Amino acid sequence: MTGMIAEGVAYHPGLLPATEQKALVADLHRVIAAAPFFTPQMPRTGAPFSVEMTNCGPLGWVSDRKGYRYQPTHPETGRRWPPIPERLLKIWRAVGAPGVPEACLINRYGEGAKMGLHQDRDEETFEAPVVSVSLGDTAVFRMGGTTRRGPTRSLRLASGDVIVFGGPARLMYHGIDRVLAGSSRLLPEGGRLNLTMRRVTPFPADEAG
């Protein structure tokens, strides 16, 4: 049952059946073979993130001492990111997102990993929503408004859930408080994978907008 849980936020619990989740994990193994996980670092301090990351798509999001940015190549291999698997593009379309995404960030949460409250705002355009797919262990997702202060609520994102935030919620604060170890058996190694698809540059005039 899909629901608008806040203005601009659509939650699609269980959108991906178990067979689709398994097929997606197989697709991701191919992506990861071409673009291995790396440990991003905080701007300036260089402190490591607790999640590991990689990307697929023409652009990928990276973070290091120099800052947050999108770039066409992997920071360690120097190679272009592999394409976004068709199965993910299908999810983008299924939730009604326009055109095609340019970046898909893949976050891996191992034991104890979390992500502080932040906005996704390194894109040049906010006209498309962020489409976020959860696989593996359930996460406690925290969502707030578009300012850092103010009330937040938490939502458990289970394997196969998709959450979409766009329009008035495109710049909502969000993060992961914790991951519930052992809550899913999808990933043999345990933990959680999160995929966030985004449009980075404005749509050309002739593309869906």
φ, ψ for residue 194, nearest 5 deg = -125, 135
Q: How many residues does the chain have?
A: 209
Nearest to 141 by CA among 151, 127, 153, 129: 153
Q: Does 194 bind ligand SIN (CB under 6 A)?
A: yes
184 binds, among ligand SIN, Fe ion, none (CB under 5 to 8 A by kind): none
Least distance from C-beta 188 to ligand SIN, angstroms? 20
Q: Give buried/exposed letters for 3-42 (b at 16+ CB in 10 A, else e).
A: eeebebbbbbbebbeeeebeebbebbeebbeebeebebbe
Least distance from C-beta 128 to Fe ion, angstroms? 14
Binding mask 139-178 for ligand SIN (x = CB under 6 A): x-x---------------x----------------x-x--
Q: Does 120 bind Fe ion (CB under 5 A)?
A: yes
Q: Does 138 bind ligand SIN (CB under 6 A)?
A: no
113 binds, among ligand SIN, Fe ion, none (CB under 5 to 8 A by kind): none
- Given candidates 107, 138, 159, 184, which one binds ligand SIN under the rule CB under 6 A? 107
By beta-carbon proximity to Fe ion, the closer residue of 39 and 77 is 39
Q: Name beta bridge partners: 69.
A: 62
Q: Does 196 bind ligand SIN (CB under 6 A)?
A: yes
Surface-to-core class of residue 166, CB atoms within 10 Å of its CB (0-12 exposed, 13-18 middle, 19+ buried) = buried
Q: How many CB atoms lie within 10 A of CB 189?
A: 7
Residues that bind Fe ion (CB under 5 A): 120
